[in-house]
């Protein structure tokens, strides 16, 4: 996260710049606004776009100050440009790296007039931030060029510092899917690298070559990481597909074995039912036996009877006393319902989903 405490010179520098652009409020009132801005820059969800970034931007503005028309207006705009920030996915991809210069401009329009800053100066501060939102300064607007270049000056940092910058950027979006982060970051870097000039102000041209070297190195790193991630995801998909296919084959094999067992039990059940009907004087044949379709109730046939269903139903029949069974082996209607009814047993079985392998 870097810097956590504001340098002693930071708030006084805001007071000086605010007074330089026309603020008429007392020092304490201006300091209160500055301290509120510092608190915003120190919010815990920031890693790169934090207080350290504000300090670096202000330092870069100092390097470019000679070519600006009003360096204090540029400095105040820098204070507000990242004061409003969100690392949430929606805002991170909608705005420049999570910073929201448009909302920052609105905040400046609200706070600076209370400090007595003239309206036209407040408007100018807001205009500079809105150009930062596009990150493309007007060709003849030296103040906007200096502000945009100062904001991007970290791209030209020495390799060790740039590596820290990369880690902080990634930490800010650790909650975003890695592939989505890589794709978005690569898009941003390619867009920057495709510019004819990254920095537009004359005094920032020395930053051009180091920045391009850093961008190229990061692009190579992230593109390789994205390829590795995609290959790993592809391998995992193939593994899951292979497992699913194996489970399906095992399920089909089990279903085939069950079907063979079911045929054997149907034959045995039919013979047993026929013998039972003959023994009880019924009008024989399996059509009226308890395992025939009509015994399951009209419209309730949900497929072949499984072995488990055979066992449940036949056990239910055995529990009915012989003197209370009809020719089909079922309990007579109108009798006591203390024992289970076969039709009710089938109704319950029809509500049991059959296992057909893993979903």
The DSSP line for 250-278 is HHHHHHHHHHHHHHHHHHHHHHHHHHHHH
Q: Which of 125, 144, 172 is at the close of a domain?
A: 172
Instruction: Give the DSSP letter string of 147-177.
Output: HHHHHHGGGGS-HHHHHHHHHHHHHHTTTS-
Check whether residue 338 and residue 316 sit in a common domain. yes
Compute the distance between CA of residue 254 and CA of residue 258 in angstroms, rounded to an integer. 6
Check whether residue 120 and residue 223 sit in a common domain. no
**R_g over Cα of the chain:** 39
Check whether residue 153 and residue 195 sit in a common domain. no
Residue 1 lies in a domain: no
Residue 348 lies in a domain: yes
Tell me the pTM: 0.65
Check whether residue 198 and residue 304 sit in a common domain. yes
Please give the chain's pLDDT, 359 residues, in tens.
556 688 999 999 999 999 999 999 999 999 999 999 999 999 888 898 899 999 999 999 999 999 999 999 999 999 999 888 766 655 555 545 567 778 899 999 999 999 999 999 999 999 998 888 776 788 889 999 999 999 999 999 999 999 999 999 999 888 889 999 999 999 999 999 999 999 999 999 999 999 999 999 999 999 999 999 999 988 988 899 888 876 666 655 555 555 455 444 444 444 444 444 344 444 443 333 333 333 334 444 444 444 454 444 444 444 444 444 444 444 443 333 333 333 333 333 333 333 333 33
Quote the number of domains for the chain.
Answer: 2
Residue 2 lies in a domain: no
* CA distance between the termini of the chain: 46
Q: Find the domain containing 165 and state its range.
A: 10-172
Residue 104 lies in a domain: yes
Compute the distance between CA of residue 243 and CA of residue 312 in angstroms, rounded to an integer. 34
Residue 333 lies in a domain: yes
Number of neighbours of residue 159 by Cβ within 10 angstroms: 11
Check whether residue 195 and residue 325 sit in a common domain. yes
- Position 98 scores a pLDDT of 67
Residue 294 lies in a domain: yes
Q: Which of 118, 152, 172 is at the close of a domain?
A: 172
Check whether residue 304 and residue 226 sit in a common domain. yes
């Amino acid at each position: 996260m870097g810097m956590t405490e504001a340098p002693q010179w930071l708030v006084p520098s805001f007071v000086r710049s605010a007074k330089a652009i026309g603020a008429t409020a007392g020092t304490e009132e201006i300091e209160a606004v500055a301290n509120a801005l510092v608190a915003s820059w120190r919010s815990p969800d920031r890693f790169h776009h934090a207080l350290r970034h504000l300090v670096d931007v202000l330092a870069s503005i100092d390097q470019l100050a000679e070519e600006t028309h009003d360096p204090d207006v540029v400095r105040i705009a820098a204070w507000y440009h990242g004061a409003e920030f969100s690392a949430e996915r929606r805002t991170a991809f909608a705005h420049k790296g999570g910073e929201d210069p448009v909302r920052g401009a609105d905040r400046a329009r609200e706070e600076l007039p209370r400090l007595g800053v003239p309206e036209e100066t407040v408007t100018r501060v807001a205009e500079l931030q809105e150009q930062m939102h596009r990150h493309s300064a007007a060709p003849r607007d030296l103040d906007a060029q200096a502000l945009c270049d100062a904001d991007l000056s970290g791209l030209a940092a020495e390799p060790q510092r740039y590596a820290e910058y990369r880690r902080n950027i990634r930490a800010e979006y650790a909650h975003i899917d890695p592939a989505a982060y890589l794709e978005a970051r690569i898009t941003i870097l390619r867009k920057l690298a495709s510019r004819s000039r990254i920095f537009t102000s004359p005094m920032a041209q020395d930053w051009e070559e180091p920045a391009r070297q850093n961008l190229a190195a990061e692009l190579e790193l992230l593109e390789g990481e994205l390829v590795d991630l995609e290959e790993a995801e592809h391998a995992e998909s193939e593994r899951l597909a292979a497992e699913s296919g194996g489970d399906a084959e095992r399920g089909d094999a089990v279903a085939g074995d069950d079907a063979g067992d079911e045929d054997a039990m149907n034959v045995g059940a039919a013979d047993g039912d026929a013998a039972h009907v003959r023994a009880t004087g019924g009008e024989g044949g399996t059509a009226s036996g308890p395992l025939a379709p009509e015994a399951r109730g009209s419209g309730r046939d949900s497929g072949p009877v499984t072995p488990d269903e055979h066992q449940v139903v036949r056990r239910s029949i055995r529990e009915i006393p012989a003197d209370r069974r009809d020719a089909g082996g079922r309990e007579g209607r109108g009798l006591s319902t203390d024992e289970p009814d076969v039709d009710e047993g089938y109704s319950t079985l029809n509500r049991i989903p059959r296992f057909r392998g893993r979903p």
